[in-house]
Structure 1
């Protein structure tokens, strides 16, 4: 029996309990990171006990320790000349199957626990795409809301001045995340190019005019719906005619709504941090275009929708009390609690697909599984964004551009492949445990690469 960081144990249950106790002691106070690891370990530990090569090589312990964690000071001036200091991060988690790859998040909530949870999850998500991408995550506690374009430019340039020392097209290729869209990526790419005098695909999510990929903005939202359609097709059903509720009103939520409408589903509710709108008649393409303009161009509040259309606004709530067939949490982590899961189950939901990263608490996930609700975990369902980032890297390396139709077809193929992997490894009698399937399928590829390298 291998000597583990947290002791030797004869059963999966005992090992899991001790493993989590040791991880929590080793990483005190990092609650989001603990949650992400536990969700994976519950599936992977029993699998490891049946495949001792992973257990004996301490693969899980090695996967839960980042290759390196970089923190740095970011100083910038606002429009009035006042100096501000923020903290910048890049967590390079695992490069066993390719360069570190993962987004940058600018938000006051950013801390090391959140970035470690995101980086840990990214290992499995990137593995599932089958593209050669390792896992990383980064960002800052900088808040872009309310800042002028020039203030955001100065912050992005200051952030990239330090980050540029740690990234490269074959080393680490960041992308966008919450608070980091096309504007921020453009400022950072420009600063990297200025500092290095080198035009390479070191960031993804770039503008089309300087190496970006078509449908990158839509990719995560489209991907979660493609994955949902595959799940429903597997049981002889489809999105068509289904009542859908979506949390969030960023790109993931907006373009998930667009694809749902295209496939014949009915979008009843969407939200932002102020509350949710409920449109009993359904949000059609015209209404959605209004929302896209409101949220991405005018940066308005979703409540304004009710001044244009006959809809109800519910303040300070997510839309999980609205009766629906399909639910898409697309806002942020831990937005869907056990009580929310209970409401969804009681109101007849049949499938929950995660568009955000870890938006459901562990208790909510367990409740869905206990009630035989189809559950699409984020590492599988929202992999469309990083998949297109990987395709952007390919286009940059080959000095070519694919059409929207070509990229969209590749996205559909990737989401279909991820679904097939989840089915293969998630068989549970007559049912499919998609969480188990995604965790094990994502684990195997990374773990086999780590074994091949020996002890490093």
Structure 2
């Protein structure tokens, strides 16, 4: 670690004590920017890094609501508006008991670079709550969402901050949030949220976008080495929306996915997850049981309780679950299995130590901030459709998404090669994303 980067890491740790996920992502990004910053000292001299690591605004608020027994419950809500240099803040809302300000800042910081990579005019932000939708009734979820939006509404808008969904926030929650926003402001500003239902301004292909985009990016990686998806075997973690979209598109393109996982363990299906099995992933998600064992019970395949799928035989590994699911123990298995391609899909699924180990051992790594950018890119396309009072067909949105992912890969690859880093997509994604943000911040003065 260079002395200047070490200084910034210490600033982040001092200002944000205990927020280990945020510390981790800042360290990963800044270390990879060193070759670029060495050639562009003006960004250090003009305080670009100093401003980049400090959110423009951090909002924490109380969310009181009444459960079905008439008891008052109180959760904590968050919105971190991290950087608006290239557009209104854009990033999802996560409802999960693990949520605290450090998780939101980590996700918001990643979002800055991810959104920049799309080439679209969207800044970086993130939000959520420690509320757990699991086990709650429809009425309880609605009342919570209404209370959450009663505070959040004053901080968002189509040209200010546009939240979307994330873990624990799907179409149902977005609907309740938008209904309350409309009720409070007294206007139909449906560009204020993305991930909406089709009848009230949602975009076709948004549900599939993150998984489809990840697959399109992987396709570009394989093309770089004269290969293709067809005939390859994939091990995937998670079974939510992102994993479902990834499995769907890989299968469509001739690949075979043999694993999915949940908090309870993973399943191994040697015949591949296809047809009604893909459809059943939607049933599992809708049940909110959060158990991948249901798949094993229904289709008679092997279930491995409390284990992760990173020891199975496959050509490609794609973590699609949550942050830091791959540590050193898993990294060593990945290297031992002689995996050639490691495609990150979920946000920061790999610890910094594990990521370095995987790269040092010759595995081709595609980083999550580039790979999973298709979700937010399609959200930005939804914003465009809302502003136009128009809607595109599924095929039109999908074609735009694919083109965006091809360009992200191209720009990521070229950013690394221009600095003599070879095919280092991890560094390339950070550098390409940073370059656009830094230029905008320089142009706008000290703000």
TM-score by length of 1: 0.96
Matching residue within 89, 113, 132 for 1:100: 89
For the pair 1:170 / 2:148, whether they are aligned, the reply is no
Whether contact under 8 Å (2:134, 2:288) holds in the other structure is: no
- Whether the aligned pair in 2 keeps the contact of 1:227 and 1:419 (CA below 8 Å) is yes
- CA distance 1:339–1:286, shift in 2 (3 Å): same
2:429 to 438, 448, 453: 438
SS of structure 2 residue aligned to 1:245: strand
Cα contact 1:92–1:137 (8 A) shared by 2: yes
Do residues 135 (structure 1) and 124 (structure 2) align?
Answer: yes
Secondary structure at the residue paired with 2:350? coil
Paired residues, number:
445
1:330/1:355 contact within 8 Å kept: yes
Q: Where does residue 319 of structure 1 map in the other structure?
A: 309
Unpaired runs of 5+ in structure 1?
Answer: 1-11
Shift of 1:204: 0.2
Q: Is the counterpart of residue 367 in structure 1 residue 354 in structure 2?
A: no
5+ residue gaps in structure 2?
Answer: none
Conserved 8 A contact 1:250-1:296:
no
Q: What is the rounded CA distance, in whole Å, between the counterparts of 1:161 and 1:277 in structure 2? A: 41
Is the 2:171–2:196 Cα contact (8 Å) retained in structure 1?
yes
Of the candidates 412, 418, 439, which is equivalent to residue 448 of structure 1? 439
Instruction: Determine the structure 2 residue equivalent to 1:25.
Output: 14
How many angstroms apart in 1 are the aligned matches of 2:383 and 2:350? 31
Q: CA deviation at 1:286?
A: 2.3
Structure 1 residue aligned with 2:181, among 172, 192, 195? 192
Deviation at 1:415, TM superposition (A): 0.2
Structure-2-length-normalised TM-score: 0.98
Please tell me whether residue 161 in structure 1 is matched to residue 150 in structure 2. yes
- The match for 2:209 is 219
Q: CA deviation at 1:296?
A: 2.8
Post-superposition shift, 1:298?
6.5
- 1:50-76, CA deviations, whole angstroms, 9 ceiling, x for partnerless residues? 111111112111101000100100000
1:43 and 2:35 correspond: no
**1:298 to 1:51, Cα distance in 2 relative to 1, 3 A:** closer
The Cα of 1:300 is off from its aligned counterpart by: 5.7
Q: Which stretch shifts more, 391-400 or 336-345? A: 336-345
Selected match of 1:329 from 304, 312, 319? 319
Aligned positions of 1:400-411 closer than 5 A: 400-411=390-401
Q: Distance in 1 between matches of 2:346 and 2:133?
A: 20
Partner of residue 122 from structure 1, selected from 111, 119, 128: 111
Name the SS of the counterpart of 1:48 in structure 2.
Answer: helix
The one of 2, 7, 14 equivalent to 1:13 is: 2
* Farther off after superposition, 203-212 or 342-351: 342-351
TM-superposed deviation, 1:21: 2.1
1:8 equivalent in structure 2? none
Q: Does the Cα contact within 8 Å between 1:106 and 1:178 map onto a contact in 2?
A: yes
Residues 269-313 of structure 1: CA distance to partner in whole angstroms, max 9, x if unpaired? 000111100112221222211222222356562101122223110
Match of 1:64 in 2: 53
Shift of the 70–228 alpha-carbon distance from structure 1 to 2, 3 Å rule, reads same
Cα–Cα, structure 1 residues 430 and 33, in superposed 2: closer, same or farther, change >3 Å?
Answer: closer
CA distance in 2, matches of 1:430, 1:156: 46
Structure 2 residue corresponding to 1:237, chosen from 222, 227, 238? 227
1:306 pairs with 2:296: yes
Q: Secondary structure at 1:396's aligned position in 2?
A: helix
1:223-261: CA deviation from partner (whole Å, max 9, x where unpaired) = 111100001011101111111011101000011001111
Partner of 1:7: none
Could you tell me how far 1:429 is from its partner in structure 2? 5.6
Q: Shift in Å at residue 17 of structure 1?
A: 2.0
Q: d(CA) in 2 for partners of 1:305 and 1:121?
A: 32
